[in-house]
Structure 1
Amino acid sequence: MKRRAFLALSTALAAAPTLAGPATAATNTTTTTTTRAGRLDVAALRRAVSGLPDDDATAALVRVGGTAGTWHGAGGVHDLASGRAADPHARFRAGSTTKVVTAATVLRLAAARRVDLDAPVQHYLPRLFRGTDFHRPISVRQLLNHTSGIRFADGWGDAFTDQYAHRFDVVAPAEAAASAVAKGPEFAPGARQEYLNINYTLLGLLIERLTGQAYADAATRLVLRPAGMRDTYFPGTDPTIHGPHNHGYQLVDGAFVDVTEWVQADRLAAGDMISTTADLERLLVALFRGRIVPARQLKEMFTVPAGIDGATMSAGLQRIELGGRTYWGKTGSRYGYSAALAATRNLSRTLVYSVNATDAKGEEMNPVAERIVMAAVGSA
């Protein structure tokens, strides 16, 4: 396995383009569109996406909205080989922002009385838990807010070389769920909050059980279409990004490995959505205004479980304190792509970005993403 990973990575590195410094003048491109600037610090936003590509990112797309004004901008390149300007309307791998759609789908089913949020998931997916050590009930709500106690699923390891070598391998969501559940609980349901993709992998299976449809079809019908998300879809086992898109890269030992094509079907409901900044902005606005989920169920998305130290996750969202304001949002990352959506509850400020980060799985926040957030929030 290690030998295959080494050979695959070596081949990619040999063919990968290399940048000599933080940025090259030939490919340093910024395009911006300003609309109703209001009190927005447009200069700071432009600076946030300028100077790309560099060692941190090859492109960035940004949309800021709200009562203080709106601004759309893009910087960087479509790909390192051609150096042409990044497409500001590009599709990208939206990562864990997919969880917002999954949570909204479950809450719509709850509003239709197809599922009880207080009922144990063992009731809805009995075969998955049969013969395991999960004797205490795990409520659907505990899956939504990451307090289930389920352990993470087995994967290919944390090293990029291992992940890259298996980037086209297909693991079904049911297989990933069975692997995680077989390990038994890590903690008692509701005892603490631990953010894990597996909670939403199970919610995807739950959606399929309740609707009799594939997850992608149910989520599209219940959330994407009502929100007007025309350029968003779920790739499944297809490794390509269809339609206009900017390439994603991982920086490895000074060289840029193209990671645009990738399969991660096991995380279908947890982080395998392809979208655009315009569509994620539509989702924010439609969701927060109650156009997707009825008010009673929508409260779940703005409620962090009480009595748990350090809890910040609600159903599909995270509470974020920035610039003296409370934002509700979600980040997501896949190799080559780092995305986020966030807004104040009253939509006085909204922010969506996609950064083609060269270390999207790094522990620290990407510097380009950090500049974008500070520029958008600092003028709120």
Structure 2
Amino acid sequence: MRAAAVALAGATVVTLAPAAVAAPRSGVDAQAELRAFIADGSSTAAFAEVRQDGRRIWRGAAGTSDLATGQPVRSDGRFRIGSVTKAFVSTVVLQLVAEGRLRLDDPVERHLPGLVPNGDAISVRQLLNHTSGLFDYLEDPQFFFRDEASLRDWVHGASRWQDYRPEQLAAVGVAHAPYFAPGQGWRYSNTNYVLAGMLIRKLTGNSWQREVERRIVRPLHLDDTAFPGSETGVRGPHAHAYAKLAEGPADITRLNPTVADAAGNGISTPADLNRFHTALFGGKLLRPAEQAELKRTVPTGSGHSSYGLGVAQADFGCGPLWGHDGGIPGWGTLLFGTADGKRQVALSYNPYEGTDPSGIDMAVVNVAVKTLCNGAAAPAGAVADAAAGLSALRGAGR
């Protein structure tokens, strides 16, 4: 069982054996890989879109969007994107760097005085690339699904609807001892991005949501993308999310996403995420200097994977690719593509909260391989290793 009740997926920094990068072909069909999400009963729905050179070349869906009605899932639906939100937040911070409002190597204490113990030794860069050492607030026991009883309590209790302020979430994180001294390791921590959101507000006078909308969503016409604050529902067509309880599936589509804040409360569609990836890695959102910083990575300790500023670099068997994954109860997301922004896949899936994710991890990797690696299948052992690495990286904070 995944441990954290309101878990945001850690970086899906999966690794396969390196291979030469082949020229992508225009055709792809990953329908069988989508059906694999549904086949073992661990998920209710999965859908994805693949784009190349700015145009859609494939879209597919499998499963049911609503167990009560049996309605098939739509391939253009909206979904909670979890930690893919981090790429939007990091992009805004890098734009503020370009505007001279801060530097990546500024200490956190300079901009958020008195908020973070040892904040004069933690840089903005270390927040964005998860080398700050700060404890992940989602690993605090108050957020855990320890067992089915605690999952049931969350499904039917008040905490699912609780409103959180970013100051509260940051306070939970910094109340714990850090994992390591700043810059002396790598550990995925959602606390880092709650602080990044607070930093945006301090520098601009606006919420991070408003700045993301002003700087990214509107210019790119991401009309189905939102960062909803405390709104509990998902507007527009969408697949429902479910928890697996002994008495049967419980619909958990509605929840208060303030618990995720700048670490993962976004909603989007495959088309919008692919458009964002194209713009980000195609150089339309950042100047060359900040684009280089975005892709300046640190090792994660997992094979050939590494982490930049709100994005991960991974090898799915056909050379390095860039993106992020995300998770929030009942939802999973994958957004990866080429470094030049010319090809990408956006995947949404709805795993039953409370199920073993190992089979789902394998399906996620298979979709990435099929859509981004020229349609060629990677060796089965390599796919299994990548899926195992994905699970290991999530840890207690998943």
Q: Is the 8 A contact 2:318 2:373 kept in 1?
A: no
Q: State the AA in 2 paired with 1:86.
A: V
Residues 1:316 and 2:310 are matched in the alignment = yes
Q: Which runs of structure 2 are paired with 1:24-43 in the superposition (5 Å)?
A: 38=25, 40-42=27-29
8 Å CA contact retained: 2:84, 2:325: yes
| 2:133 aligned with 1:149 | yes
Equivalent residue runs for 1:172-211 within 5 Å: 172-211=165-204
In structure 2, the partner of 1:49 is 34
Query: Quick one: distance in 2 between partners of 1:249 and 1:95?
Result: 16
Matches within 5 A, 1:1-380: 38=25, 40-42=27-29, 45-50=30-35, 53-54=38-39, 55-66=41-52, 70-129=57-116, 132=117, 134=118, 136-153=120-137, 154=140, 155-159=142-146, 160-164=151-155, 165=157, 166-253=159-246, 255-305=248-298, 309-310=301-302, 312-359=306-353, 364=358, 366=360, 367-380=362-375
* Distance in 1 (alpha carbons) for counterparts of 2:287 and 2:120: 30
SS in 2 for 1:62: strand
Q: CA–CA distance in 1 between the matches of 2:71 and 2:357?
A: 30
More deviation, 159-168/146-155: 159-168
> Contact conserved, 2:35 with 2:62, CA < 8 A, in 1?
yes
What SS does the corresponding residue of 1:218 show, helix, strand or coil? Answer: helix
- Percent of aligned pairs with the same amino acid: 32
SS in 2 for 1:78: strand
Tell me how far 1:137 sits from its aligned partner: 1.2
CA-CA distance at 1:135 after TM superposition? 6.2
Displacement of 1:184 after TM fit?
4.2
Q: Aligned residue pairs: how many? A: 339
3-state DSSP of counterpart to 1:316: coil
Instruction: Evaluate the alpha carbon distance shift between residue 365 and residue 297 of structure 1 in structure 2; reply closer, same or farther with a 3 A threshold.
Output: farther
Pair 210,360 (structure 1): closer, same or farther in 2 beyond 3 Å: farther
CA distance in 1, matches of 2:364, 2:247: 21
Contact 1:136–1:188 (Cα < 8 Å) also in 2: no
* Structure 1 residues 258 and 317, CA gap change in structure 2 (3 angstroms): same
Deviates more, 1:73-82 or 1:201-210: 73-82
From the superposition, tell whether residues 137 and 291 of structure 1 become closer, same or farther in structure 2 (CA, over 3 Å).
Answer: same
The 1-side partners of 2:122 and 2:196 are apart by: 12
Deviates more, 1:269-278 or 1:342-351: 342-351
Q: Which runs of 5+ in 1 are unaligned?
A: 6-36
Distance, in Å, in 1 between the alignment partners of 2:359 and 2:99 is: 39
Q: Does the CA-based 8 Å contact 2:217-2:223 persist in structure 1?
A: yes
SS of 1:329's partner is strand
Contact 1:53 1:77 in 2 (8 A): no
| Amino acid in structure 2 at the alignment position of 1:138 | I
Aligned residue for 2:62, secondary structure, equals strand
Task: Please give the TM-score of this superposition, normalised by the length of structure 1.
Answer: 0.83
Q: CA RMSD in A?
A: 2.4
Q: CA deviation at 1:183?
A: 2.6
- Contact 1:156–1:163, Cα closer than 8 Å, also in 2: no
Cα deviations by residue, 1:62-110 (Å, 9 ceiling, x for unpaired): 1112269821111222201111221222111100000000000100111
CA distance in 2, matches of 1:56, 1:135: 42
Contact 1:95–1:333 (Cα < 8 Å) also in 2: yes
Distance in 2, matches of 1:179 and 1:205, equals: 15
> What's the secondary structure of 1:64's corresponding residue?
strand
Partners of 1:248 and 1:356 within 8 A in 2: yes
Instruction: Give the Cα separation in 1 of the matches to 2:196 and 2:56.
Output: 37
TM-score by structure 2 length? 0.79
Contact 2:108 2:120 in 1 (8 A): no
Structure 2 vs 1, CA of residues 361 and 188 (structure 1 numbering), >3 Å: closer, same or farther?
Answer: farther
Tell me: CA distance 1:144–1:75, structure 2 relative to 1, closer, same or farther (3 Å). same
Q: By how many angstroms is 1:127 displaced?
A: 3.1
How far apart in 1 are the matches of 2:143 and 2:109? Answer: 28
Kept after mapping to 2: 8 A contact 1:227/1:292: no
Q: Secondary structure, in 3 states, of the residue corresponding to 1:323?
A: coil
Consecutive unaligned residues of structure 2, counting only runs of 5 or more, are: 6-23, 376-398
Query: RCO greater where, 1 or 2, for CA within 8 Å and sep 6 or more?
Result: 2
